[in-house]
Structure 1
Amino acid sequence: MSIFTVASRYAKSLLELAQEQGQLDAVKKDLEQIIAVLKANNEIQAVLKNPIISHDKKRSILLALFDGKANPLIISFFTILVNKGRADILIDIAQAFVREYNQVKGIVNATVLSATALSEENLNELQAKIAQEIGAQVLLNNKVDASVIGGFVLRVGDKQIDASIAGKLQKLEKYFVSQGV
């Protein structure tokens, strides 16, 4: 079974439990912080993925890091994951939880790629237009890539709008090649 499938199943279980206990938003917020901590620390990731390190040691490390700082539901969930030998995919499970949460709440992630960082005003305006167009709450992320040259590339879910200068130049090049110029 793939890591994605396993992570998704555990994430759905945690999501259902958090919903039942009325702690869905709190669990999501804590998991986002936990993802950031784990991603920022390669040593912790290495320990969690190392099959030689005992479950007790992994559990004690996670408790030392997050007990009292994260929702008790998450701490209990971590204990279950470690006992089942799934500490190695903890980040994958947490990320799958956030994806599932967004789906349940009708939140769509979008990315706008631009040559320079967009102003807060431009981002807010674009976010509002996307939300109005798709009828859902939108989390907009701005990524900077100088190769865009100008304009932007917008990705919302599995759709992409390329309004960049680089994209237009590529289309123009393809046209000239197809015409034998």
Structure 2
Amino acid sequence: MSIFTVASRYAKSLLELVQEQGNLDAVKTDVEQIIAVLKSNTEVQAVLKNPIISGDKKRGVLLALFDNKVNPLIVSFFTILVNKGRAAILVDILQEFIREYNVVKGIVNATVVSATALSEENLKNIQAKIASEIGAQVLLKNKVDASVIGGFVIRVGDKQIDASIAGKLQKLDKYFVSQGV
């Protein structure tokens, strides 16, 4: 079974349980904080992924970091994951939880790639335009890539709008090649 499939199953279970208890938004905030802590601490990641380290030690590390700091349901969830031998994919499970949360809340992730960082005003305008087009709340990230040259590339799910100079140059190049020029 793939990591994605396993992570998705655990994430959905946690999401359903949290929804039943009415703590969805609070748990989502805790999960985001946990992901940030785990991603910034490579030693903890190494402990969780090491098959030689006992489940008790892994559980102890997670409890030391998060007990009485996050929703008790999450701490119980950690215990289940460790007992099932899934501590190595904890970050994957939590990221999948965030993705599932976004689906439930109708939130769509989008990325705008530009040659230079866009102003807050430009980002808000693009975000509002995308939201009105797709009829959903949009979380917009700005990535800077100098190879775009100018303009921007917007990605929403599996759709892409390429309004970059680099994209237009590529289209022009393909046209000339197809014409034998």
Q: TM-score range, shorter-chain basis?
A: over 0.9
Tell me the TM-score normalised to structure 1 length: 0.99
Which TM-score applies when normalising by structure 2?
0.99
Specify the SS of the correspondent of 1:53.
coil
Distance 1:87 1:127 in 2: 36
Per the alignment, residue 155 of structure 2 pairs with 155
User: C-alpha distance in 2, partners of 1:128/1:171?
Assistant: 28
Q: Which amino acid aligns with 1:63?
A: L
CA–CA distance in structure 2, aligned partners of residues 133 and 54 of structure 1:
51
Unmatched 5+ stretches in structure 2: none
Which residue of structure 2 aligns with residue 171 of structure 1? 171
User: CA-to-partner distance for each residue in 1:42-89, whole Å, 9 max, x for gaps?
Assistant: 111111000000000000000111111111111010011001110000
Q: Report the counterpart of residue 35 of structure 2 in structure 1.
A: 35
Q: Extract unaligned runs of 5+ from structure 1.
A: none
Distance in 2 separating the partners of 1:43 and 1:175: 52
Q: Give the match for residue 64 of structure 1.
A: 64
Identity of aligned residues (%): 85
**Residues in 2 aligned to 1:122 and 1:68: alpha-carbon distance in whole angstroms:** 41
Q: CA RMSD in A?
A: 0.6
Determine the C-alpha separation between the residues in 1 that align with 2:146 and 2:72.
44
Could you list the structure 1 runs, at least 4 aligned residues long, displaced by more than 6 angstroms after superposition: none
SS of corresponding position for 1:141: strand
Can you list the C-alpha shifts for 1:72-122, whole angstroms capped at 9, x where unaligned?
A: 111010011001110000000000000000000000000000000000000
Q: Give how far 1:176 is off.
A: 0.7
